[in-house]
Structure 1
Amino acid sequence: PLDIAQQALNVGNSVSLIAVKVKPGYEENITETLNQNFRRKDLNLRAYSWRESAETVIALSTAKKAGIGLILSVVLLIGIVGIINNVVLSALERTEEIGMMKALGMREMEIVSVFMVEATGIGIIGSLVGCLLGAVGVGWLVKYGFDISYAGDMTTYGIPILNKLYGVWNLSAFGFLFVLGIIVALLSSITPALWAARKDPVKAIYHR
């Protein structure tokens, strides 16, 4: 209750902070207007926006986004290299089969389409498994949360935060990553597939 807090802090009826809720996007203008009024009336008061009070949190969030972007880029690169490796190995192992396809009259783009379909299948399976594993992790965070009590009092950063951070479902992100995985698999298979399709059929059949 307010009276107990006033007694515990020994502040009586004085006010130490007034929080004003404004429409998004207007906080900077309102903050500047209030400070001008305070200076004009010689009041020892100062207004500041939530962005200013939570500057440390915003900086940490920006750094976090940059770090996550870097990690996702590395993961994406690993996925591309893995898919290219699988397609190249498949082409090397099926050199005779590719030569036979060309000898039977299959055109290069038809052979390329075979490898692209296989790569797309790999992308679908990989994306599906990744989304399922991600759903398990997000579900755990939504239900149990991540304990950050060891970090100390987070209110010193300007925004009150509970002892646990909980996850939220973002189905659009799952859908985007699922489609992205398929597209990456499809595009990364084109170069090795073209390399395999352009092999001379005679040399391919008798490559040994």
Structure 2
Amino acid sequence: MKLAILDRDGTLNQWGARGFIGHPDEWVAVPGALEAVSRLNRAGWHVVIATNQPGLGRGLFDVIELNAVHAKMHRELAAVGGRVEAVFFCPHAPDEECRCRKPGPALFEQIVERYGAEGREIWAIGSGAEHLQAGLALGAHLVFVESTARPVACSDADLPAGSERYADLEAVVNMLLPLGEDEVPQPVAEPPPSH
């Protein structure tokens, strides 16, 4: 099994101007990210999202609005042949001290339980140290993607040891998939009969 657990904000979509995405109009894909997910899908990868959504706990938006944001995400992915199989989210504010808020491991544990995956099969890919720290607890491969609009900068010192760093999700997929692995084989056309 090949399982990619993506962070949402800064990895799949751009950061919101308000520091969060509370409305579908605010959800804007990172250039090339949706196509990168589609390539993973075609190569047989399972792709899920694990995301902290403290705006729910703070009352900045509700679950109906969050679902509308994710509906837009799913539509835009489908338009390029991509699919995120599930979205796991923590609805708590940081001061609620839950286990599901990354870097806590509970979201990743739920994903692993659902898919029956082992650490070596999991790729934690995100634009924040907390996402990689959650993956570290399960022995996942750790991949940091740059996010120029991230509200708080993330240096190499913030990342768990052994983390790899790439410019964006597209660059990660280029590394994961050997050239052409994600292409659907096309039937070879028979040459026309010669007379």
The normalised TM-score by structure 1 is: 0.20
Task: Judging by fraction of residues, say which structure has more strand.
Answer: 2
Larger Rg: 1
Task: Judging by fraction of residues, say which structure has more helix.
Answer: 1
